[in-house]
Amino acid sequence: MSAATVGFDGSGQDGAFVWWEPGQMRVDALRDALDNVHVGQFLPKASTVPAAIKEMLDGFLSAANLRIRGLPIAINPLASEVRGCEAVQRRPGKQTNDFTHVISVVLDEQADRIRIVSYNPAFFSMPNKTVVEDRMTAVYRQQIDWYPTTMVSACLARVIDHLGGVLCRANGGVYYLPESSLQTFEPLANALECAEGELSITITRFTLTPGERSYRLVAQAMEREANDTLLQVEDALKSIGRQRQDGRVSRTELLTGLAEKVKRYGEILNQPMAHMLDAIAKCQEAVDAHSAIEDLTL
């Protein structure tokens, strides 16, 4: 973990910007690191199988040194009922793109083996397909124990949100975490970087000072998150007919959590945040009114 401190004075308005260079992470290493700081509920639930197949095929194509003549090769998932991928070469056209099939592979789940369904001999010869499948299977079985970069980054983002952080810059994934949350996040970051993997996390601690750019970034981030959440709830109310009971409860919990977060940032930034709290209250009134109308029509 890379750490830096800029004017950190323990005033209670301290915090940190957090960002990371994405990287793969072993499943067991991520699980242990999250459990150690009691946030194991954010371990990715999705299977690593699709990513493992894609990583394997990408490595195979790179090793094959295909003559692509400047035309990119894309790897796409096969039909949802099949665990597999296909590689195609895209040739841009004036109106539509032309696609040339390169290779398709699937996972034989019974045998736990990669099978080559089809391949284009214009790209490579394959005198012994079984040997190639053996090598593909070996690589796939190594990759299955790793979370891909996208799943690791999504997991970290969920943890930061749980700890009360806000996304200050989408481009580059820069988050702000309040001082109290660093007590949980710093041990997690250290554990992840010490584990086998490619993840690199940077934490820059500083004091929020009114008038400085960092202060404005945090204030804008909190307002943006509040506005996005309110729009999400309002759009949901417009698009649904009768709210399910669990839908009513989840929207109320979402708004209650948002109000608590806004109040917390009001204290951190020493701003009243009254306009945000008023907007949240009005949105809650809309949820309650929607529920009341539905109760009358039962």
Per-residue three-class SS string for 6-47: ECCCCCCCEEEEEEEECCCEEHHHHHHHHHHCCCHHHCCCCC
Contacts of 236 (CB under 8 A, 6+ apart): 247, 251
Give the per-residue pLDDT at 279. 95
Contacts of 222 (CB under 8 A, 6+ apart): 166, 261, 262, 265, 269, 273, 276
The three-point CA angle 105-107-111 to 5° equals: 130
Give the per-residue pLDDT at 71. 81
Cα(226)–Cα(249) distance, rounded to whole angstroms? 19
Tokens 């696609």, residue? 99
Give the per-residue pLDDT at 13. 67
CA atoms within 13 A on the CB side of 116: 22
Give the per-residue pLDDT at 296. 62
Give the per-residue pLDDT at 275. 94
Q: Which residues lie across from 79 on neighbouring strands?
A: none
Cα(100)–Cα(121) distance, rounded to whole angstroms? 12
Ordered mean pLDDT values, 10 residues apiece, the chain (298 residues): 56 82 92 95 94 94 78 88 91 80 94 94 89 96 94 95 94 91 93 85 92 94 96 82 64 94 94 94 90 66
C-alpha distances in Å from residue 170, one per residue of 9, 166, 217: 28, 10, 12
CA atoms within 13 A on the CB side of 45: 3
Give the per-residue pLDDT at 237. 82
Identify whether the C-beta of residue 17 lies closer than 8 Å to the C-beta of residue 204: yes
Cα radius of gyration (the chain):
25
Contacts of 77 (CB under 8 A, 6+ apart): 50, 54, 84, 85
Give the neighbor-by-neighbor strand order of the sheet with 98-108: 73-77, 84-91, 98-108, 113-119
